Amino acid sequence: MNPSAALSAFQARLKSTQILCTTDDMAPFLCDWRKRYFGNALAVLLPSNTPELAEIVQICTEFGIALVPQGGNTGLCGGATPDQSGTQVVVSLKRMNQIRGLDIDNQTITVEAGCVLQTIQEAAAAQDLLFPLSLGAEGSCCIGGNLATNAGGTNVLRYGNARDLCLGLEVVTAQGKIWNGLRGLRKDNTGYDLRDLFIGSEGTLGIITAAVLKLYPMPVCQWTSLVATPSIPATIQLLNLFKQKATTLLTGFEMMTAESLALTEKQFPQMRNPLGENPPFTVLIEFSDHESEAHARNLVESILAEALELGIASNAIIASSIAQANTFWQMREHITLAQAQEGANLKHDITIPLSALDNFISATDAVLRAKYPQVRIINFGHLGDGNLHYNVAAPVGTDSAIFNQANETSVHDIIYGMVEKFGGSISAEHGIGQLKLHDLRAHKGAIAHDLMATIKTALDPLNILNPNKVLPTNAN
């Protein structure tokens, strides 16, 4: 490894404005969104196009320098934060943010990795088309990061996750070569699917520089409602009622517990639940119709009436304007922000088969409360996908940093043990990063873990792409 020679080579290749080296300039790139991981770096590099990025990787290969790709830096597993050695470079894709083209006939858009998700949504909307990936960080996360983490979000129920929305990729390999797989094909059975290998690999197998994404017809209207439910089984019955009656018109189904909304209201007093006192569960339902407003409204009203009659819902309110629908969504999205403001908490982004969800929650709550009686359990999530954010906050009046440091491993072990028992996954949508690095082997099993390590070694034999993320360095 020769960091000073590498730095000279970067300086010879890039403009001075594309290399950040001072502590102040680099600071925003060296810690994660949750302020949980803090790293150091040799430099932060800001390439403006794919050939430039390929040359950066070639220099890194030559001088044995590890790279950490970074998009919007909103990831929740520390995947975009360098280690503390000060020898790695952060490669920010933010300046590679062009929309290369929008194909109306093919219903695709080709974008560079640094495009902010919201910008892509807006570009599609300008052509009356929908790019359905949507999540709380959409104003700052980048599509390269979304694909690298196979992001989920609020529309997975209808449109799938980032992987399902991507047809083609352009990638810079660990050798600094450019793989052009920017095809807008919906069928392409030509051997191993390289695209799917890079999606979800969190920058450990290649650097995504551009993508071809699927677009959909824009719905003519959306109806958003908040529904109070008494229990998890009732909430799942409500989901299935909507699936049965509304089929593909159901585009969002988000569950929030009374505890998670109480915390949101504490941190953001303007975020009051329009259903009144928080019921045990508040469900946000979004319904997108391609026919007419009247058709949608009649259908939503009739399904909600049936739910009330069946006793699986106790109250419901349909947003009367786009502004009100936005406030419903803000309530949901502010839970993550409220938790961050309240103090660090122990997050678990998990999936459980819906049929096991109720038993999972009761059993896990019981084991946790037996060991930590005063702990606060903040549950919410994309219930339509079986995705639960099962987060644990220190008891009120306790220093959260001290509590988390002392109990993190034990709390993780309890929850991940229960996830295994109930047939779930320890990462639904946020990835592995460094947060779950040491939990992966036990969860995936030795064979799957070793196959992953074999792929990593084959594609990145020098281990220069985001080392010690997803797989521990010594697993290769």
Ligand X SMILES: Cc1cc2nc3c(=O)[nH]c(=O)nc-3n(C[C@H](O)[C@H](O)[C@H](O)COP(=O)(O)OP(=O)(O)OC[C@H]3O[C@@H](n4cnc5c(N)ncnc54)[C@H](O)[C@@H]3O)c2cc1C
Of 39, 132, 145, 219, the one binding ligand X (CB under 6 A) is 145
- Encoded tokens for 21: 């080296």
Q: Measured from the CB atom, is 145 or 384 closer to ligand X?
A: 145
Near ligand X by CB under 6 A, which window of 66-74, 226-234, 277-285, 454-462? 66-74
Does 158 sit near ligand X (CB under 6 A)?
no
CB of 221 to ligand X, least distance (A): 23
Residue nearest to ligand X (CB): 145
Contacting residues for 155 by C-beta, under 8 A, at least 6 apart: 132, 133, 134, 251, 252
Q: Which helix (H) or strand (E) holds 390?
A: strand 387-393
Near ligand X by CB under 6 A, which window of 52-60, 237-245, 425-433, 454-462? 425-433
Near ligand X by CB under 6 A, which window of 38-46, 48-56, 202-210, 278-286? 202-210
Note whether 246 and 302 are within 8 A (CB).
Answer: no
CA–CA distance, 11 with 400 (Å, rounded to integer): 43
Q: Measured from the CB atom, is 7 or 93 closer to ligand X?
A: 93
CB of 378 to ligand X, least distance (A): 14
By CB under 6 A, the count of residues binding ligand X is 37
Residue 259 Cα distances to 256, 278, 388, angstroms: 8, 8, 14
Q: Measured from the CB atom, is 131 or 372 closer to ligand X?
A: 131
CB of 312 to ligand X, least distance (A): 25
Residue 60 class from Cβ within 10 Å (0-12 exposed, 13-18 middle, 19+ buried)?
buried
Note whether 162 and 146 are within 8 A (CB).
Answer: yes
Residue 355 Cα distances to 238, 343, 384, 417, angstroms: 13, 33, 12, 18
CB of 155 to ligand X, least distance (A): 10
Of 18, 48, 50, 73, the one binding ligand X (CB under 6 A) is 73
Of 18, 70, 364, 404, the one binding ligand X (CB under 6 A) is 70
CB of 35 to ligand X, least distance (A): 11
CA–CA distance, 459 with 309 (Å, rounded to integer): 57
> Could you give phi then psi for residue 458, rounded to 5 degrees?
-65, -40
Alpha carbon 383 to its chain's center: 15
- For the segment 207-236, give every residue that binds ligand X (CB under 6 A): 207-208
Strands 43-45, 89-92: pairing is parallel
Q: 68 pairs with which residues across the strands?
A: 90
CA–CA distance, 42 with 65 (Å, rounded to integer): 9
Residue 246 Cα distances to 240, 306, 317, angstroms: 10, 13, 18
Near ligand X by CB under 6 A, which window of 8-16, 100-108, 140-148, 443-451? 140-148
- For the segment 341-360, give every residue that binds ligand X (CB under 6 A): none
DSSP 475: G
Does 72 sit near ligand X (CB under 6 A)?
yes
Contacting residues for 460 by C-beta, under 8 A, at least 6 apart: 174, 204, 205
Does 102 sit near ligand X (CB under 6 A)?
no
- For the segment 426-455, give every residue that binds ligand X (CB under 6 A): 429-430, 433
Give residue for tokens 């303007």.
270
Q: Measured from the CB atom, is 70 or 476 closer to ligand X?
A: 70
Note whether 287 and 222 are within 8 A (CB).
Answer: yes
Does 46 sit near ligand X (CB under 6 A)?
no
Of 148, 325, 350, 411, the one binding ligand X (CB under 6 A) is 148
Of 229, 260, 336, 339, the one binding ligand X (CB under 6 A) is 336
Give residue for tokens 């592995």.
432
- For the segment 119-138, give every residue that binds ligand X (CB under 6 A): 135-137
The helix/strand/coil state of 401 is: helix
Does 39 sit near ligand X (CB under 6 A)?
no
- For the segment 360-399, give every residue that binds ligand X (CB under 6 A): none
User: What's the number of CA atoms in the CB half-sphere (13 Å) around residue 356?
Assistant: 16
Does 260 sit near ligand X (CB under 6 A)?
no
Q: Measured from the CB atom, is 195 or 299 closer to ligand X?
A: 195
- For the segment 74-93, give every residue that binds ligand X (CB under 6 A): 74-76, 79-80, 93
The footprint of ligand X (CB under 6 A) covers 33, 68-76, 79-80, 93, 113, 135-137, 141-142, 144-146, 148-149, 151-153, 202-203, 207-208, 336, 429-430, 433, 466, 469
